[in-house]
Amino acid sequence: MESFLEEKVTRSRFLKFLLKTAAVSAILLPQASCKPGTIPKLHGLSDSEYLAFKSLEEVFLVGNPIQGFDLGVAADKYIYGHPYPIDTESVLKLLAFLPGSSLVSFALDFSFTSMVGLSKEDREKRLLSWKNSSLSLKRGAYNIMRQLAFFLVSMEREYNELVGYKG
Residue 34 has pLDDT above 60, yes or no: no
The per-residue pLDDT for 33 is 41
C-alpha 150/C-alpha 62 separation (Å) is 11
- Domains in the chain, number: 1
Q: How far is CA 5 from each of CA 2, 12, 24, 80, 99, rounded to the nearest angstrom?
A: 8, 18, 24, 47, 33
Residue 106 belongs to a domain: yes
Residue 3 belongs to a domain: no
Residue 137 belongs to a domain: yes
Give the best-scoring range by mean pLDDT among 36-50, 133-147, 151-165.
Answer: 133-147
CA 4 to chain centre: 35
Instruction: Give the total residue count for the chain.
Output: 167
C-alpha 117/C-alpha 122 separation (Å) is 10
Residue 28 belongs to a domain: no
Residue 16 belongs to a domain: no
Average pLDDT value for residue range 110-119: 88
Reported as a single tens digit per residue, the pLDDT across 134-156 is 988 889 889 989 999 999 998 88
Domain limits at 106?
35-163
Residue 125 belongs to a domain: yes
At a CB cut-off of 8 Å and minimum separation 6, what does 81 contact? 43
Average pLDDT value for residue range 112-139: 91
Residue 155 belongs to a domain: yes
The least confident of 18-32, 51-65, 99-113 is 18-32
Residue 21 belongs to a domain: no
